Amino acid sequence: MRSNTRVKTMALGLAAMGVAGLSTVSIAWACSIGMDQERMTILEEEPTEPVDLPPAVTLRQEYIKRSQTPQREGCSERVTSCDDTAFLKLSVQGYDPEAGGLRFAIEGDYPDTLTIDPHPLVLYGEDRDVLFVWSDMDTMYEPIDATITATWVDAWGREGETSAPVQVRNDGARGGGCAVAGGAGSTGALVLGAAIGAMLLSRRRRVSP
């Protein structure tokens, strides 16, 4: 019932290091995501058994994490390779991987990059969670107000009961800006600016006739 390929980890790239003006960008690590799910293999031969699937599962939103602009401490930026990636995890109660797979569907308002595979999935993690991952850097400010359902599918592709929809809401990422970490960043910038101004004023007075 399961496919032969399990994708347990996805490498989503490495962060880059750069310097722009007085701001610094620090290098980070690769984004590694554990995936306790896989596409279910659909049998091509004629069904040999009647449809016998469990009752509808129950979905619950565990968390949603949107993309984010580089994390800032004062005017220093910290970039990770997961900054442009969004995650949505749902818990699935009442699921038995031996009984079949689940076909997930989404409706409502959500970014175009949030796509859900229409192929049935088998969940083999102990917690029976499903994780949706999408590229969100260009859509992180778009809100999400959608519902997701899960429908049982047996080994021959025949459908069973559909879950009640779970509501998924998110206001989107917040804007950037030069953030303050304990006041040190903004204070340092003001002190530096004042010092430069004082030096220029002093020099101007010395050269004045």
Say what the pLDDT of residue 80 is: 57
Say what the pLDDT of residue 174 is: 67
Say what the pLDDT of residue 72 is: 58
Tokens 């509501």, located at residue:
167
Say what the pLDDT of residue 135 is: 86
Say what the pLDDT of residue 189 is: 42
Residue 160 in tokens: 């069973």
Regions of the chain where pLDDT drops below 70: 1-34, 68-81, 174-209
CA distance 154 to 16: 45
Task: Give the pTM.
Answer: 0.65
Which of 135, 28, 31, 110 has the alpha carbon at shortest distance from 77? 28
Say what the pLDDT of residue 73 is: 58
Say what the pLDDT of residue 28 is: 36
Say what the pLDDT of residue 56 is: 98
Residue 134 in tokens: 């999408």
Say what the pLDDT of residue 177 is: 39
